Structure 1
Amino acid sequence: MYRRLVLKLSGQAIAGPSEFGFSSDRLTHLANEVLALRATGVQVAVIVGGGNVFRGNRADDWGIDRVEADNIGMLGTVINAVLLRGRLAALGADDVRLMTAIPINNLAEPYIRLRALRHLKKGSIVLLACGNGQPFTTTDYPAVQRAIELGADALLVAKNGTDGVYDADPNTSPTAQRFDHLSYQEVIDRGLGVMDQTAFILARDHNLPLHVFDIDRAAAATHIAEGTHVGTLIN
């Protein structure tokens, strides 16, 4: 069904049950999900969040400038991406390329769109860190931006413990109903918090399909790549 996909992973996915930090078991699960997705034959790029290390919106709590806080958050995405690269390598993947929006030459390649495309066409897994290198954005916007830049057929929006988009918070509302399919306009009209609004509008303007699903569900991303409906599709 799909030829090229971008998978968005949050820092929370690496932290596991804890709000911050790292979980070795979660890292192994995520690495296996990425490998299984690539095994379907699709080209895979992964953009990694850093909220388990530091969140830029906590700048006031730490008494630092928001730009500096976002810089720390971007460095957090690098830590997570290096961890994921290491676990992928330990599981046998020797063709993983890590690219960063901010040059960190001893650890990764700088993100260059045409180079990333070459890696994908050769079958390498491409990990993308540092967002888009700019403050005042979460990794939602860079995830959509990179998916469009790289000509991805869809963006897989991995959630933790939530298997799609609901009309209310399923953690607090027992009657919350999950949507199987939504249009971009329905998401806007209903005020559903799928992702940052700027990121969502960018996806809408470029007709980028969004699959919102639970990364905790084994092989969910693989099923999506193979054409099985999982979670909520927005297009």
Structure 2
Amino acid sequence: MYRRLVLKLSGQAIAGGDEFGFDSDRLTHLANEVIALRATGVQVAVIVGGGNVFRGNRAEDWGIDRVEADNIGMLGTVINAVLLRGRLSALGTHGVRLMTAVPINNIAGPYIRMRALRHLEKGSIVVLAGGNGQPFTTTDYPAVQRAVELEADALLVAKNGADGVYDADPNTNADATRFDHLSYEEVIERGLGVMDQSAFILARDHRLPLHVFDIDRPAAAASISNGKHIGTLIN
């Protein structure tokens, strides 16, 4: 069904049940999900968030400006990406390439679009960190940006404990209804919080399909790659 997919993982997925920090079991689960996705035969790029390390919107709490806070957050994504690469390698996965938007030459290669495409075409898993190297954005925007740049067929938006897009918060509203399918226009008209608005508009403008699903569901990403409908599809 698909040839190339970008998988977006949040930093919170690595933290597990805690707001911040790292959980070894969760890291193993995420690595296995990435391995299962590649086993379906698609080319896989993964972009990792850093919210479990530091969130840029906490700048005021720490008495620093937003640009510095976002710089710390970008470095947090690098930490998570190195962790993911390490766990993938420990599980016997070969051909994992880590590329960063912020140059850290001793740890990873710089993100160069054509080089990333060559890695993907050779079957490597490409892990992307550092966002897009710019402040004032969450990981949502660079996730869509990289998916468009790398000519991905879809972006898999992994959520923690949410199995799709709802018309209300299912944690507080027992009558909340999950959508199986939405158009870009319906998401905007209903004001649904799928991702940052700027990121969503970019996805809409480039007609990038978004699969929103629960990363806790075993082999969910692989099932989507194999054509199974899971979560909410936005296109």
User: What is the TM-score of this pair, normalised by structure 2?
Assistant: 1.00
Aligned to 2:180: 180
Counterpart amino acid of residue 169 in structure 2: D
Mapped to 2, the partners of 1:6 and 1:152 lie a distance apart of 6
Aligned to 1:231: 231
Q: Residues 160-218 of structure 1: CA distance to partner in whole angstroms, max 9, x if unpaired?
A: 00000000000000000000000000000000000000000000000000000000000
Deviation for aligned residue 1:148: 0.2
Does structure 1 residue 89 correspond to structure 2 residue 124? no
Q: Residues 78-102 of structure 1: CA distance to partner in whole angstroms, max 9, x if unpaired?
A: 0000000000000001210000001
Aligned to 1:160: 160
SS at match of 1:212: strand
Mapped to 2, the partners of 1:158 and 1:170 lie a distance apart of 17
Deviation for aligned residue 1:153: 0.0
Aligned to 2:23: 23
SS at match of 1:64: coil
Task: Give unpaired runs (5+ residues) of structure 1.
Answer: none
Aligned to 1:120: 120
Aligned to 2:200: 200
Counterpart amino acid of residue 201 in structure 1: I
Mapped to 2, the partners of 1:153 and 1:203 lie a distance apart of 12
Mapped to 1, the partners of 2:211 and 2:33 lie a distance apart of 15
Counterpart amino acid of residue 196 in structure 2: D
Task: Give unpaired runs (5+ residues) of structure 2.
Answer: none
Mapped to 2, the partners of 1:88 and 1:96 lie a distance apart of 8
Does structure 1 residue 212 correspond to structure 2 residue 218? no
SS at match of 2:207: coil
Mapped to 2, the partners of 1:103 and 1:17 lie a distance apart of 31
Mapped to 2, the partners of 1:175 and 1:59 lie a distance apart of 36
1:105-144 matches, cutoff 5 A: 105-144=105-144
SS at match of 1:8: strand
Counterpart amino acid of residue 126 in structure 2: V
Aligned to 1:8: 8
Counterpart amino acid of residue 94 in structure 2: D
Mapped to 2, the partners of 1:171 and 1:128 lie a distance apart of 31
Mapped to 2, the partners of 1:8 and 1:131 lie a distance apart of 11
Mapped to 1, the partners of 2:102 and 2:17 lie a distance apart of 30
User: What is the TM-score of this pair, normalised by structure 1?
Assistant: 1.00
Counterpart amino acid of residue 176 in structure 2: A
How many equivalent residue pairs?
235
